[in-house]
Amino acid sequence: LPTAWLNGEFLPVQEARISPLDRGFLFGDAVYEVIPVYDGQPFRLDEHLARLENSLKAIRLSDAMGRQRWRDTLLELVERNGGGDQNVYLQVSRGTDKGREHGFPAEPIAPTCFAMSSPLPRPPAHLRSEGARAHLVEDLRWRRCDIKATTLLPNILAKQAAHEAGADEALLHRDGELIEGSSMTLFLVKDGVIHTPPQSSAILPGITRQVVLELAHELGISVQETALPLEQLEQADELWFSSSSREIMPVTRVDEQTIGEGRPGPVWARVQAALEASTR
């Protein structure tokens, strides 16, 4: 049974109990992180914990744990689950109140801190050989998508719409621009240059995004952080999504439109290979 961690205690995940009065359950009043683990080592742990601190601050929730305690806790969680490759999930909610009041609790309450781990799935082989399919969906999310909040209804509805259209991921667009996937950062390659939307409150500051930008720099590939009008899909040579649990996923079709040559491209192959090298 996978071991989880809840408010200071390690226990089998099936035995973890949270009250229905928890504000994470009632309101989605919570933030989270997903951290890949390779060979027992959490990848870019400090960057994930720094982003968690930013999310907590943005929702005005005090950081009850602090970075060192999170580090120690997650390393022990990974060890108790047998090391190797894992996918760690952690969540902090504003805690369990006495009733259901939208505003913050009048008396300070303890946040609910939770972490669990599951096996890290390898990105499916057919997505690497043939590329993934994306489905365009209007971005209906709020204007603070830089906060990694558990309140994910628009993302879930977009992902489901993509699945029902026979696609692997939703490609969110808003005001005529391509934004990101429902759970992945977006990259577009044109004439050997990697383009990705600039960091703003419209997208999540992806950790994998940061790694891709660093690797591109090391490989001498130019990057432009710039808005991506919808029309650029037609001229794109390559399109990718990235996330902690999926690495870099080449996209070769967006609805009925073929991207580039319709095969995962050479720039993707170089950056993905460099990413794999840096995780091992």
Q: How many CA atoms lie within 13 A of 137 on its CB side?
A: 28
- 138 within 8 A of 173, measured Cβ to Cβ: yes
Minimum distance from residue 195 beta carbon to ligand PDD (Å)? 16
Closest to ligand PDD by CB, 65 vs 120, is: 120
Question: Tokens 């369990």 correspond to what residue?
Answer: 96
| Three-state secondary structure call for residue 267 | helix
| Three-state secondary structure call for residue 187 | strand
Q: Which helix (H) or strand (E) holds 64?
A: none
Minimum distance from residue 199 beta carbon to ligand PDD (Å)? 11
Closest to ligand PDD by CB, 97 vs 139, is: 139
Closest to ligand PDD by CB, 96 vs 117, is: 117
- How far apart CA 65 and CA 187 sit, in angstroms, is 34
Question: Does 148 qualify as catalytic in the annotation?
Answer: yes
Alpha helix segments (H runs only) across the chain: 23-27, 45-58, 67-80, 125-130, 153-164, 207-219, 232-235, 266-279
Closest to ligand PDD by CB, 243 vs 272, is: 243
For residue 127, the one-letter residue type is L
Sites of contact with ligand PDD (CB under 6 A):
34, 180, 183-185, 204, 206-209, 242-245
Minimum distance from residue 103 beta carbon to ligand PDD (Å)? 27
- 252 within 8 A of 133, measured Cβ to Cβ: yes
Closest to ligand PDD by CB, 96 vs 141, is: 141
Minimum distance from residue 215 beta carbon to ligand PDD (Å)? 13
Catalytic residue of the set 57, 98, 148, 159 = 148
For residue 98, the one-letter residue type is K
Minimum distance from residue 186 beta carbon to ligand PDD (Å)? 8
Report CA dihedral (16, 22, 26, 29) to the nearest 10 degrees.
-100
Phi (first) and psi of residue 186, to 5 degrees: -105, 135
Long-range contacts of 255-262 (CB under 8 A, 24+ apart): 255/134, 255/135, 255/136, 255/165, 255/167, 257/233, 259/131, 259/233, 260/189, 260/236, 261/237, 262/131
Closest to ligand PDD by CB, 67 vs 263, is: 67
Minimum distance from residue 141 beta carbon to ligand PDD (Å)? 8
> Active-site residues: which are they?
148
